[in-house]
Chains A and B, each alone.
With several copies, the nearest count.
Chain A
Amino acid sequence: MANLTIQLGRDVTLSNPVMAASGTFGYGDEVPDLVDVNQLGGLVTKSLTLRPNEGHAPPRIVETPAGLLNAIGLANIGVEAFCAGKLPFLETLQTQVFVSIAGATVGEYVDILTAIERSGNKIAGYEINISCPNVDEGGMEFGVSASITETLTAKLRQLTGRFIMIKLSPNVTHIDAIAKAAESGGADGISAINTVVGLDMDPLTGQRSLSNLIGGLSGPAIRPIALAAVHSIAGAVSLPVIGMGGISSAEDIIRFVRAGATAVQIGTANYRDPAVGVNLLARLEQLMEQMQIETLEEIRGVIH
């Protein structure tokens, strides 16, 4: 019998390896009718900024071959409204909740995390977004520099005992170096990848597809890129890697585990089917039986 439980860190156990990725599942309260959120292994909230953020002007999404390009611009309610309006609901969930935070400065990251630490006591931890390709907050300036990554991680480490995962950008020359910096700074896990920098326009009119011009590419198109990144990170650090990028089938989950991931996140595929994470679990168990393994740990990092 397949056992899907994942020990993510000392204090964090997931009922299964599948989490909803930041920015693709709101604050978990958007889809109660369509899906039982509690059946997910975990849930990462939309990235929070210090102040409410309306995001970029429309248009902010466009479909590309097997991909989705977006420049939402971290539209979110801000940490204050989150603590007052969303956290109470999130704390009633059985699933492990990770709050994603995004600052424009190290100080902002500190302030956001501090505010949540003060109000919340049942969340599992944080995902630190230093890899959003289309804004200043949570921006890639952080995610492309190993030294800033280490400094930021170390700062946040002092503020909480909860699980901290640093979410990395694929838009760098050596993602393994950034992962190592996060490890040195005291991170508990690395999540990867955020979206890949991309651009599109209407060819005939020249109209930009995103008001922000530049956006982030997600979806099946980036799966091989994400697998290479996860493989590189898993080889560089001894922290658990939470892999994502284009996952849309149980086979894809296995691919990320084989590349070295301990758990996975699903993003864009939720837009096709908000229940996809939960639906893939049955199929995942089936595949595990076919492979004659009881835990995913048995194939983690195993490529022949």
Chain B
Amino acid sequence: MGLYRLVLRVGDMAALARPGQFVNVLTGAGWDPLLRRPMSIAGIDGRELQLLYKVVGNGTAAMSRWQSGDEIDLLGPLGNGWDAAADGFPVLLGGGAGIAPVYYLHKELLRSSTAHHLIMGSRSTEEHFLQHDPHSGISLSTDDGSAGVAGTVLDALHDLMEAALIPRSGLSLYGCGPPGMMRALADFAGQHEMDCQLALEEIMACGIGLCQGCNVAMRLPGNTPEHSYHQRYRLSCIDGPVFKAKELVTWQI
């Protein structure tokens, strides 16, 4: 039930990737599954691309059986990526496999020596590959208390504020995780009028704007790109997967 790590030699594509973007992975040649599987880019190292994923169905199970040397068909980098130029002290929150896009941002912020805090939450310790070390900017949380803070990523966030390890205001949140966590984050950010970006994981058929299947309802109509054919929706694959929390309708998340 832990996270799998996959390192892919992608060549030139690596130089194009930005945190928050994803690749669309063909998990096999047959028709089970039929479509590609979107996976956030969890890191870039030279000409290598890293993924972090959880096995939840046939597609990810097939990925977990890949051998070193196999050739993989993937499309990317896709999507908009995080807006890392946002004001405020960056707090990055990843829940479960949602750590992937957040982890890549973390690495980039480290590289540019930008102060920030990374909070990773999971059900239990086995999904964790980081060390809980709040003083150096990394906090963990587990539902069962087996590592880091017992509770959710928001509980960990509160603890950090209490301990004055991060500012109480002027935060800029970057979150990705299961629906419950995303909703809680959006609510929290709304209440405290904090800047908050969420990387959604809508089901996608194409990942490149062809199928119109990944629409996301927007709170504020208007100002939507023309290719979405409408005022009310945006396409998660080309307008997202990162959206400002305040622009989203809660049930969508």
Which A residues lie at the B interface, using CB under 8 A? 23-26, 30-31, 34, 46, 52-55, 57-63, 65-68, 70, 72, 75-77, 81, 85, 219-220, 248, 268, 270-274
**Whole-angstrom distance between the alpha carbons of A24 and B216 in the complex?**
19
Check if B86 is an interface residue, CB within 8 A of chain A: no
Q: How far is the CB of A101 from chain B (nearest CB, A)?
A: 15
Which B residues lie at the A interface, using CB under 8 A? 26, 31-36, 73, 75, 202-206, 208-217, 226-233, 252
A53 contacts across to B, CB distance below 8 A: 229-230
> Which one of B35, B75, B231 lies within 8 Å of A54 (CB-CB)?
B231
A66–B230 touching, CB < 8 Å: no
> Which one of A59, A248, A270 lies within 8 Å of B206 (CB-CB)?
A270
Q: How far is the CB of A90 from chain B (nearest CB, A)?
A: 15
**Whole-angstrom distance between the alpha carbons of A54 and B228 in the complex?**
8
A274–B210 touching, CB < 8 Å: yes
**Whole-angstrom distance between the alpha carbons of A54 and B217 in the complex?**
11
A271–B217 touching, CB < 8 Å: no
* SS class, residues of chain A in contact with chain B: loop
Q: How far is the CB of B124 from chain A (nearest CB, A)?
A: 19
A70–B211 touching, CB < 8 Å: yes
A58 contacts across to B, CB distance below 8 A: 202, 214-217, 233, 252
A57 contacts across to B, CB distance below 8 A: 215, 217
Q: How far is the CB of A59 from chain B (nearest CB, A)?
A: 6
> Which one of B31, B208, B215, B227 lies within 8 Å of A220 (CB-CB)?
B31
B206–A75 touching, CB < 8 Å: no
> Which one of A61, A70, A76, A272 lies within 8 Å of B229 (CB-CB)?
A76
Given known A-B contacts A55-B230, A271-B205, A70 and B31 have beta carbons under 8 A apart: no
A219 contacts across to B, CB distance below 8 A: 31, 34
A54–B230 touching, CB < 8 Å: yes
B206–A67 touching, CB < 8 Å: no
20 A-B contact pairs sorted by A residue (CB < 8 Å): A30-B209, A30-B210, A31-B210, A34-B75, A54-B229, A54-B231, A55-B215, A55-B229, A58-B217, A60-B215, A61-B211, A66-B31, A68-B205, A72-B211, A75-B215, A75-B229, A77-B229, A81-B226, A220-B34, A271-B35
B229–A62 touching, CB < 8 Å: no
A81 contacts across to B, CB distance below 8 A: 226
- Which chain A residue has the least Cβ–Cβ distance from B231? A54
A30 contacts across to B, CB distance below 8 A: 208-210, 227
A268 contacts across to B, CB distance below 8 A: 34, 205
> Which one of A31, A68, A85 lies within 8 Å of B34 (CB-CB)?
A68
B208–A274 touching, CB < 8 Å: yes
B34–A26 touching, CB < 8 Å: no
